[in-house]
Amino acid sequence: MDLTDQIKTMVKEWGADLCGVAALDGAEAEIRGLYGDRFDGLRRGVSFGVYLPKRVVDEVLEHPTHTYLAYYDVANGLINQIGLRLNNYLMKMGFEAYPVPASQRLGAKDRAVFSHRMAASLAGLGWIGKSCALVTEEVGPRLRLGTVLTDAPLKSDAPKADGCGECRLCTEICPAHAIKGKNFDPKEPLEERFDFQRCDAFLTETRQTFGKRICGRCVAVCRYGKKKEAEKNDG
């Protein structure tokens, strides 16, 4: 087993449900534009995902729940543990590495120190959906993401094609009208597809009524990971 396969196997043994490797060389200009020279030389991103329980996510379509918040935190904790273990494994092998902590924000704005969605889409875990979340074939956007950047010479995976098509479920369900209904285009800034202020204001409103900033309807409604295979192809 080569180093890439060994790492993917370990990451899954540690609790991840999906794992892939992103080639970051092609996104070098974008990464420099966003983060300066902080991650120079780290040409691979090991991207991994931990599934959220589907039925727990389904419930937030109706109303916010503390169960969703609880598993959001559990998944983020697991992501951080896997990231630290992988970072230390790579360090002991003599490689440079940087574990990106799970982003803590409930909403589509990625507040991690490096975009997990960028790494996950380049690593072929899924594509960036109209909701701006990473959407996988397996569970749609019902997962949390982790990333470890490294200079280890890992084999990269191929990105996946956008699977949103004409679907507008997340756009239509969004109570804040934050999702503009446009397919992801790497050349466009996030603001073209998503109004962060609207989502943020809705989450703040929810804190006043529910006590916590929570929504997740755009995640719960996504047809991927929800319907049978045959029904996914109608979009």
Residues that bind ligand SF4 (CB under 6 A): 107-108, 129-131, 135, 140, 164, 167, 169-170, 174-176, 178-179, 199, 202, 215-218, 221-224
User: Nearer to ligand SF4 by C-beta: 48 or 127?
Assistant: 127
* Residue nearest to ligand SF4 as judged by C-beta position: 129
Smallest distance, ligand SF4 to C-beta of residue 141, A:
6
User: Nearer to ligand SF4 by C-beta: 12 or 226?
Assistant: 226
User: Nearer to ligand SF4 by C-beta: 12 or 182?
Assistant: 182
Residue from 204, 89, 68, 93 nearest 144 by CA: 68
Count CB-CB contacts under 10 A for residue 58: 15
Smallest distance, ligand SF4 to C-beta of residue 173, A:
6
User: Nearer to ligand SF4 by C-beta: 28 or 172?
Assistant: 172
Smallest distance, ligand SF4 to C-beta of residue 129, A:
3
Instruction: Report phi then psi at 68, rounded to 5.
Output: -60, -45
User: Nearer to ligand SF4 by C-beta: 68 or 202?
Assistant: 202
Residue from 64, 46, 34 nearest 6 by CA: 46
Reduced to 3 states (helix: H, G, I; strand: E, B; else coil), residue 32 is helix
Q: Cα torsion at 80, 162, 170, 51 (round to 10°)?
A: -30
Smallest distance, ligand SF4 to C-beta of residue 165, A:
7
Beta strands in 40-125 (DSSP E): 44-51, 97-100
**H helices of 123-215, where?**
169-173, 196-210
Smallest distance, ligand SF4 to C-beta of residue 198, A:
7
